[in-house]
Structure 1
Amino acid sequence: MSSAPSTSLQDIISHAKEYGFVFPSSEIYDGLQAVYDYGQNGVELKNSLKSVWWKAMTQLHDNIVGIDASIFMHPLTWKASGHVDGFNDPMIDNKDSKKRYRADQLLEGKAEEYANAGQQEKASALLAEMGRLLGAEDLAGVRELIIAEGIVCPISKTSNWTDVRQFNLMFSTQVGSVAEDASLIYLRPETAQGIFVNFLNVQKSGRMKVPFGIAQIGKAFRNEIVARQFTFRMREFEQMEMQFFVRPGTEMDWYASWKEQRLKFHKAIGLPAESLQYHDHEKLAHYANAAVDIEYKFPFGFREIEGIHSRTDFDLKNHQELSKKKQQYFDPEINQNYIPYVVETSVGADRLFLAVFCNAFTKESDGEKERVYLKLHPALAPVKAAVLPLVKKDGLAEKAQEIVKSLKSSFRTVYDDNAAIGKRYTRQDLIGTPYCIAVDYQTMEDDTVTIRHRDTTEQERVPVSLLKEKIGYEVSLERILESI
């Protein structure tokens, strides 16, 4: 079979909903923009991605441990981190369409147009100028640049723009039993600060020596004004972050090392090298002295799935100043106290899910018949094996259920006897099940079954006694971990 035309984002969204991966949140009430629920297959895939990331961090590295910090934190945490004063997006409205846009994304889109037209120098110059204006907080200059570049609203096709304004992205709420006594607190906009405020707790209780890392998976919340592109940009999302504490002066070596290690991880879970690239930041965040994104080629272009940042000592130093509690580490090797520098790796679990799903979605055609399947790494597939009796009679169904029972404690196995076996194969292909086990009349004679392989549709005869070992080996997360 030859590959069919390229996949659109709408293909992905439709498939995700139809086959139980992602649903619009509270859809019976017409949904809530930029909020999604993971269905029965989506949650399995997402949990597998979180599990392999967690193991890659905490199991493969002797000097990385994990925590699970609260979503609610003392409000001064966000003052120290810079989020209260500086966690803003520059927004601009088109007066004719009444639509709101992120000013930086309009300019990045124009730069992408230049790059696609082979005008790389022009693209770089535009991004550099945008970075300079935003860094200087020259919002009037940003508006002038948008107009000078001839950027128009995609809906009204006019450049009738308002001034650029900053919007803080944090959700606020109140804590306290009586409204008058309630204190303003925030839903965390990132998971990193939960790690920083626990730096000394982990270091002392675990007797950790620099360099060491703290990993965390957790929900974060951002009031995105312009949320789009399915699960790529959501208001409630999940981060997989690791903060690596190092001796000042060594951070750039560790930055280079983690940059390389994280790209290797994405390749190990099945994302192809040609669909991945590094993108160095033109404009650095206030806390960083180096930053790079690992980008994946989505149907809507290359976009960030992970950021690697050298955060210096910004966070711990600010928490020390505001809390009046020392955030220092005594390094016995150099007999010195210091605030460690930090190298951060931060992956969006939802973005990684979307990248893996887009990459797996496969359409093939032989000119007459089209085949659609999810080419997921066997260790990530929601269902690892499906057991299908050829017919329901003559003891085949009972034998198939017996096989399911023998396998399901080792890996997720399902039973399906509904419709012709060809339709059942297709049903499993559509959710990415790597192995279908057919139970037929020969099974009743010699206790062998046919394994059908999802990607090739090839079949092989295997004794029932070898199924657990054979399939178990292929679907184990070890297959991914050993290649990192």
Structure 2
Amino acid sequence: MAQEDIFKKLVAHCKEYGYVFQSSEIYDGLGAVYDYGQMGVELKNNIKKYWWDSMVLLHENVVGLDSAIFMHPTIWKASGHVDAFNDPLIDNKDSKKRYRADVLIEDQLAKYEEKMNKEVAKAAKRFGESFDEKQFRETNPRVLANQEKWNNLHTRFSNALNDNDLAELKQIIEDEGIVCPISGSRNWTDVRQFNLMFSTEMGSTAEGASKIFLRPETAQGIFVNYLNVQKTGRMKIPFGIAQIGKAFRNEIVARQFIFRMREFEQMEMQFFVRPGSELDWFEKWKETRMKWHRALGFGDENYRFHEHEKLAHYANAAVDVEYKFPFGFKEVEGIHSRTDFDLSQHEQYSGKKIRYYDPELGESYVPFVVETSIGVDRMFLQVISASYCEEQLEKDTRVVLKLPPVLAPVKLAVMPLVKKDGLPEKAREIIDELKFDFNCQYDEKDSIGKRYRRQDAIGTPFCVTVDHQSAEDNTVTIRYRDTMEQERVAIADLGKIIGEQVSYKKLFGKL
């Protein structure tokens, strides 16, 4: 099945089973804005807990913060967002559709990569175990030709981004023959910059209102509270401040479901270090964050680091953690060495000293910062993408979300075999006992087979069936989602069996 078809099925599945809905759907929706349903909000909260506890519980020198969405407008001048928070946009004159010029070129690079990978895959199938991929890539004429095209395009693209050369970006699009996906034409406008911040007004009257912005990132809330946290928490460098919160960007080219939205949620940690040590910490946090992703068990080969083509104005090093979505490798987390740019800027614009006195060095300085920033919504989409499976069984096909049990919205479904003979009451007793520890669901509608399929589709890792034997010996049948195996266990042991599988402690042990 084509990857595009898989993605469409995934989006439909999210709606059908209460994970994600189009916002304002009864009014025909609002573009690039989504709501999380009853299952989605549970998964989202579990992802946030996994991140928060891995940051704050597992690191003695990382603490939390919850800053406001509305902030003083000068903050965004100091941070560079007013002047530099732009996307290079280009319009197709025939389709009247707008695109990000850099994304069009990145997609072209991905096409060259795909051509090379297809050649490698065909050769690997042909030669079997004796296949030497490295030698093939270095000698095959078709691979070498596409590699040369990739290298040339990559160099031009990188230079254009770093020089902020909008005319060159358009020239690359024209030279590569990149067409509009809608019209199929190459009738492009010039590339121009577009600021992504939403603005609004604050004040009791229209005349006295002042222009403020909805925050486009959560990081600045941490920076302007740096001294408050450091002093009240008696924090010693190195230390970090973690925050989860909403951010807003007026994405003109919002696409790929919840991958790129106008209202989204970020999980960010800013780590304050001594000047000169930032690149060492940058490498440490790269390793730490990649471990966090891989611990979920979605396959190490589906993750990679991607070095930035162009560094942001505040950074001296930057890398993305990318995951292989159905639409290709895309960013789920950014790790940046932000230098002392943000704190120095706020010191200058506010007129307040934002320094740290280092007792070991006997001097004061503006700390440098290493940032880890992950989108909750992208992480949500990654988890769903990695978990969605269609399995062909003997008699039918089952759709199953093989979510890591610790993240699954519902941990346990309890099902009476029939709706009589005291079995529903027995099932309710089990739920009343376990509901304080696990999110449980009672399910008595339809045949037991249909109920299993329904729970598979929402990703419930354990199904417990209460039958007539349960009333006699206090045992039940527990069914495991991924293997569909069943075993007879004592009701008294259910808490321990499930608890071991859904424990964050087990997940943290891999970190």
Both structures adopt the same fold (TM-score exceeding 0.5): yes
- CA deviation digits over 1:236-272, x for unaligned, max 9? 0000000000111111111111001101101112332
Structure 2 counterpart of 1:151, from 154, 161, 178:
178
Q: Structure 2 CA distance, aligned partners of 1:256 and 1:452?
A: 43
Deviates more, 1:4-13 or 1:404-413: 4-13
- For 2:426, the aligned partner's letter is K
Cα distance between partner residues in 2 of 1:17 and 1:120: 40
The reply on whether 1:398 has 2:396 as its aligned counterpart is no
SS at 1:117 equivalent: helix
Match of 1:247 in 2: 274
2:106 alignment partner in structure 1:
108
Equivalent residue number for residue 131 of structure 1:
158
**Aligned with 1:184: secondary structure?**
strand
Question: Could you tell me which of 19, 25, 35 is aligned with 1:37?
Answer: 35
Corresponding residue for residue 217 of structure 2 = 190
1:361·1:374 contact (CA, 8 Å) conserved in 2?
yes
Query: Would you say the 8 A contact 1:111–1:124 is kept in 2?
Result: no
Give the one of 43, 46, 49 matched to 2:44.
46
368 and 124 in structure 1: CA distance in 2 versus 1, 3 angstrom threshold: farther
Deviation at 1:98, TM superposition (A): 1.1
Q: For the residues of structure 1 that align with 2:489 and 2:221, how far apart are their CA atoms?
A: 50
**CA distance in structure 1 between the aligned counterparts of 2:476 and 2:352, rounded to whole angstroms:** 65
2:56 is matched with: 58
Q: TM-score if structure 1 supplies the norm length?
A: 0.97
Name the CA distance, whole Å, in 2 between partners of 1:113 and 1:420.
Answer: 47
Separation in 1, partners of 2:316, 2:434: 51
| Equivalences for residues 80-479 of structure 1 within 5 A | 80-118=78-116, 119-366=146-393, 368-479=395-506
Q: Deviation digits for residues 315-367 of structure 1, max 9, x if unmatched?
A: 00111111111111111111111111111000000000000001000111146
Q: Is the 8 A contact 1:213 1:245 kept in 2?
A: yes
* C-alpha distance after superposition, 1:195-225 (max 9, x if no partner): 0001111000000011000000000000000
Partner Cα separation in structure 2 for residue 418 and residue 366 of structure 1: 23
What is the identity, as a one-letter code, of the residue corresponding to 2:308? H
Counterpart of 1:70 in structure 2 is 68
Q: Secondary structure at the match of 2:207?
A: helix
1:8 corresponds to which letter in structure 2? I
Deviating more after overlay: 438-447 vs 113-122: 113-122
For residues 366 and 415 of structure 1, what CA distance do their matches in structure 2 show? Answer: 26
The whole-number CA distance in structure 1 between the counterparts of 2:94 and 2:13 is 35
Q: Give 5+ residue unaligned stretches, structure 2.
A: 117-145
Q: Is the 8 A contact 1:36 1:231 kept in 2?
A: yes
Aligned to 2:9: 11
Distance in 2, matches of 1:127 and 1:31, equals 38
Cα 1:160–1:36 shift into 2, 3 Å = same
Q: What amino acid sits opposite 1:470 in the alignment?
A: I
Q: In the alignment, residue 317 of structure 1 is paired with which amino acid?
A: S
- What is the SS of the residue equivalent to 2:194? strand
- Aligned residues, how many? 481
Q: 1:384 to 1:254 in 2, by over 3 A?
A: same
Query: Does structure 1 conserve the Cα–Cα contact (< 8 Å) formed by 2:161 and 2:309?
Result: no
What SS class does the counterpart of residue 152 from structure 1 fall into? coil
Q: Matched residues in 1 for 2:245 and 2:262: separation? A: 14
Matched with 1:483 is 510
Identity of aligned residues (%): 63
Match of 2:20 in 1: 22
CA contact (8 A) 1:46 1:353 kept: yes
Q: Tell me the alpha carbon deviations over residues 37-84 of structure 1, each in whole angstroms, 9 at most, x when there is no partner.
A: 000000000000001100000000000000000000000110011000
Q: Residues 5 and 456 (structure 1 numbering): CA distance in 2 closer, same or farther, change over 3 Å?
A: farther
In the alignment, structure 1 segments of 5+ residues that lack a partner are none
RMSD: 1.2
Moved more, 156-165 or 317-326: 156-165
**Matched position secondary structure for 2:182:** coil
Question: Alpha-carbon deviation of 1:482?
Answer: 1.8
- Give the Cα–Cα distance (whole angstroms) in 2 for the partners of residues 120 and 235 of structure 1: 36
Q: Is the Cα–Cα contact under 8 Å of residues 476 and 490 in structure 2 kept in the other structure? A: yes
Mapped contact 1:270–1:376 kept (Cα < 8 A): no
Higher deviation after alignment, 157-166 or 227-236: 157-166
CA displacement 1:106-155 (0-9 Å, x = unmatched):
11111111222232343243233223223222212221221122112122
Distance in 2 between residues matched to 1:205 and 1:456, nearest whole Å: 51
TM-score, normalised to structure 2, is: 0.92
Q: 1:285, 1:70 → 2: CA distance?
A: 24
The CA deviation at 1:28 is 0.4
Superposed CA offset, 1:138-196 (max 9, x none): 21222122112211212222221111111000000000010110000000000000000
